[in-house]
Amino acid sequence: MLNRVILIGRLTKDPELRYTPNGIATTTFTLAVDRPFTSQGGERETDFLPIVTWRQLAETCANYLKKGRLTAVEGRVQVRNYENNEGKRVYVTEVVADNVRFLESNRSQGDPNEPDHRPRYDGDPFADDGKPIDIDDDDLPF
């Protein structure tokens, strides 16, 4: 009915850009999000959250995100499941981003938050120019 996540954290690695069999761009990366520090001794705790982006936004993320960069991600939590090669059903939880803000950009490369470079707000990341399309789980490149 309603499903919205907002995260701020840092990339654990450079993002990975792939294409589905039908040529749709998709970029994935992991965001390290530190939990609020709980005074007590103890080490800092961190959640490592897998992020998926599609299409235009995927291209921009692939171009402008780098390992370590502070990044804001807006999207929805999704639980995908597939059968693995041992015939067991595996459940994967990930954040499908529809908005990504580059909080530490490399000015010398142009500002990714500016026009042309700016991630188009995709609305439904599964929709193309308003015409929703099907991304079949078998089409996924990962």
Partner DNA sequence: TTTT
Using an 8 Å Cβ cutoff, are 13 and 29 in contact? yes
**Which residues are at the interface with DNA (CB under 7 A)?**
9-13, 30, 32, 34, 44, 46, 48, 67-68, 81, 89
Nearest CA-CA partner of 22 in 61, 54, 50: 54
Q: Residue 14 half-sphere exposure, CB side, CA atoms within 13 Å? A: 5
The separation between the first and the last C-alpha atoms of the chain, rounded to the nearest angstrom, is: 27
- Tell me: does residue 9 bind a second copy (CB under 8 A): yes
Task: Compute how many residues bind a second copy; rule: CB under 8 A.
Answer: 50
Least distance in angstroms from the C-beta of 23 to DNA: 26
Q: Which does 38 bind (CB under 5 to 8 A by kind): a second copy, DNA, none?
A: a second copy
Using DSSP, state whether 40 is helix, strand or coil: coil
- Tell me: does residue 72 bind a second copy (CB under 8 A): yes
Question: Which residues are paired to 71 by β-bridges?
Answer: 9, 102
Using an 8 Å Cβ cutoff, are 15 and 81 in contact? no
| Rounded Cα–Cα distance for residues 67 and 79 (Å) | 25
- Tell me: does residue 36 bind a second copy (CB under 8 A): yes
- Tell me: does residue 134 bind a second copy (CB under 8 A): yes
Q: Which does 42 bind (CB under 5 to 8 A by kind): a second copy, DNA, none?
A: a second copy
Quick count: other Cβ atoms within 10 Å of Cβ 110?
13
Name the residue nearer to a second copy (CB basis): 35 or 107.
Answer: 35
Contact residues toward a second copy (CB under 8 A) are: 1-10, 33-40, 42, 47-49, 70, 72, 74, 76-79, 93, 95, 99, 101, 103, 113-115, 118, 120-124, 126-127, 129-130, 132-134
